[in-house]
Amino acid sequence: MTLAWPDIAPPTGTPAGEPPTFVAGRGWWVTRHADVRAALTDPVFQVPAVDSGPPGSLAWLRATVSRFSPPERHPERRTIGVSALAALHPDELRHEAAHLTAAALDHAGGRLDVMRDLARRVPLRVLAGRLGFTDPAAAGTAVDVVAAAYHPGVDPALVWRADRAVAALVALSPPAPPEVRANLIGLLVQACDATAGLIGAAAHHLLPPAGDPPDLPPAGDPPRPVATADLLAKVLRLDPPVRATRRVAAQGVRLGGRDLPADSLVLLRFDAANRDPDVFAEPGAFRPGRPDVGLLTFGAGERACPGNRHALALAAGVLGVLRQRCRRTGSDLRHEPHPTLRVPTNLEVTVQ
């Protein structure tokens, strides 16, 4: 399979494969695989602190979920999410996501926008239902609002809307102590844009254009179809939905041959690290089935994503049906403005 993968350029002045580089006004940019992994697994590099707020508000949610928790609170809060996910079987998530996707295509009328109609809606509805939210569809709608304001520094108008959405999610969540409810909501918010970005990128890169003739197998034995999970693994490395994550150095530390002062802001670039030629042979090549040991898109260390298998299952359920029944149109692909995520704004397909 030959695909034209995007050339994910590193930030200006920070070539991939180089030591950490300081960018004035923006902090340290880290692109080498070894350096990114070292920072993810070194407790000196901590998640930036967030302020709390009234119970049921966006600020309260941020301050209570494991994602933004300080080191002393993170383990117990992470356990809440890990325990909730342990009760969910990835195969069941995949089957339910495929069922909902097929139903949406049946009612699409020949065309459908993957991002608007599927990429967030289906995974969130499946996950919310399995986690015990009383109205999964309403929960998914509210999560979309919260996700738009989840990271600090957004427009105050988005925060006001998110406050109301968080309150709605608390009311829809299963009976539990507030900290448990917050971390169940956090699982949905973490899955929202990341899973949508993966589905959108995979559909863009893997679905054939509308009007293309069907692929004919060569003479002899037909090739074995490439599993959707193998294709998604390559998308995760070559065009990851989460391009970077932030950390702060709690004290002076040496990273990649550079001395970083205490309180240094650090941006860990997954997109560049996943193309490091010192780790991945032919880093730009698309070879489904070839193991990519060392993939960093889901993080590493104590704060690695606890729901990686579940996110892949949900994405595979959606994409598997799209591969069977859809072709993408020729419209240009644009992405939502975000410093660390890569999520398409729209992606129209024709339905067969």
Would you state the structure tokens that stand for residue 242, as one six-digit string?
């989460």
| Cβ atoms within 10 Å of 44's Cβ, excluding its own | 17
The residues, ordered by sequence, that sit 6+ positions from 160 with a Cβ below 8 Å of its Cβ are none
- pLDDT, tens only, 154-198: 788 899 999 999 999 999 999 999 999 999 999 999 999 999 999
- pLDDT, tens only, 306-326: 999 999 999 999 999 999 999
Question: Among candidates 134, 136, 125, which has minimal Cα distance to 98?
Answer: 125
Q: Where are the beta strands (DSSP E) in the chain?
A: 21-23, 27-30, 45-46, 111-113, 244-249, 253-255, 258-260, 265-269, 326-328, 348-351
What is the length of the chain? 352
- pLDDT, tens only, 93-121: 999 999 999 999 999 999 999 999 999 99
Query: SS3 letters for 52-88?
Result: CCCCCCHHHHHHHCHHHCCCCCHHHHHHHHHHHHHCC
Q: How far is CA 192 from CA 46, 143, 158, 303, in A?
A: 23, 7, 16, 18
Q: How far is CA 182 from CA 157, 174, 271, in A?
A: 22, 11, 29
CATH no. for 28-44+54-210+223-351: 1.10.630.10
The residues, ordered by sequence, that sit 6+ positions from 47 with a Cβ below 8 Å of its Cβ are 67, 68, 69, 70, 246, 247, 248, 303
- For residue 8, pLDDT over 90 is answered with no
Using CB atoms within 10 A of its CB, is residue 176 exposed (0-12), middle (13-18) or buried (19+)? middle
Q: Distance between the two ends of the chain, CA-based, in angstroms?
A: 22
Q: Residue 12: its pLDDT value, please?
A: 41
Break the chain into its structural domains and give their ranges.
28-44+54-210+223-351
Q: Residue 254: its pLDDT value, please?
A: 98
Q: 211-220, 293-302, 322-331, 334-343: which has the minimum mean pLDDT?
A: 211-220
